[in-house]
Amino acid sequence: MTQPNSPSSAPDADAPLRSVHTNTFVQVLQQLGISLVVSTYQAGKVVVMRADGESVNTHFRQFRKPMGIAVSRSAASGQITHRLALGSGAAIWELHNIPDTAQRIPPVGKHDACFIPRAIHVTGDIDIHEIAWVEDELWFVNTRFSCLCTLDKQYSFVPRWRPPFISEYDLRDRCHLNGLAIRDGKPKYVTALGETDTPGGWRNDKASGGILMDIDSDEILLRGLSMPHSPRWYDGKLWVLESGRGSLSCWDGSSQALVSIATLPGFTRGLDFCGPYAFIGLSQIRESAVFSGLPLTQRLTERICGVWVVDIRNGETIAFLKFEEAVQEIFAVSVLPGIRFPELTEWSPELMGSSYVLPNEALVNTVQPSANWEFAETYFTQGNGLHRQGKLSEAIAAFRKCLDLQPTYLPARYNLGVILGDLGQYEEAETTLKQVIAAEARHAEACNSLGFVYSKQQRWEEAIAQYQRAIEIRPNFANAQQNLRLILAQQENLKSV
pLDDT of residue 346: 86
Distance CA(294)–CA(292), nearest Å, equals 6
Strand intervals (E) in 137-227: 137-142, 147-152, 155-161, 177-183, 186-192, 210-214, 219-225
Q: Residue 415's closest CA among 435, 248, 160?
A: 435
pLDDT of residue 484: 95
Q: Residue 203's closest CA among 290, 128, 315?
A: 290
Residue 218 near residue 164, CB atoms below 8 Å: yes
pLDDT of residue 396: 97
Mean pLDDT of 5-17: 45
**For residue range 103-143, what is the model confidence (pLDDT) as tens digits?**
888 888 899 999 999 999 999 999 999 999 999 999 999 99
pLDDT of residue 348: 73
Q: What is the pTM of this model?
A: 0.75
Helices 410-422 and 392-405, packing angle to 10 deg = 150
Give the residue with greater pLDDT, 371 vs 418.
418
Amino acid of residue 172: R
The full set of domain ranges for the chain reads 12-355, 376-496
Distances (CA, A) of 19 to 12, 297, 328, 485: 13, 23, 11, 58
Q: How confident is the model at residue 256 (pLDDT cuts 50, 70, 90)?
A: confident
pLDDT of residue 7: 42
Give the residue with greater pLDDT, 427 vs 292.
427
Sheet containing 19-21: order of strands: 19-21, 316-323, 306-311, 277-283, 267-274
Mean of all residue pLDDT scores within the chain: 90
Q: What percent of the chain has pLDDT over 90?
A: 74
H or E stretch covering 60 = strand 55-62
CA atoms within 13 A on the CB side of 238: 27
- Superfamily of segment(s) 12-355: TolB, C-terminal domain (2.120.10.30)
**For residue range 261-303, what is the model confidence (pLDDT) as tens digits?**
999 999 999 999 999 999 999 998 754 545 555 666 555 556 7
Q: What are phi and psi of 293, to 5 degrees?
A: 80, 10
Mean pLDDT of 10-18: 51
**For residue range 178-233, what is the model confidence (pLDDT) as tens digits?**
999 999 999 999 999 999 999 999 999 988 999 999 999 999 999 999 999 999 99
Q: What CATH number labels 376-496?
A: 1.25.40.10
pLDDT of residue 13: 41
pLDDT of residue 15: 44
pLDDT of residue 450: 97
pLDDT of residue 361: 81
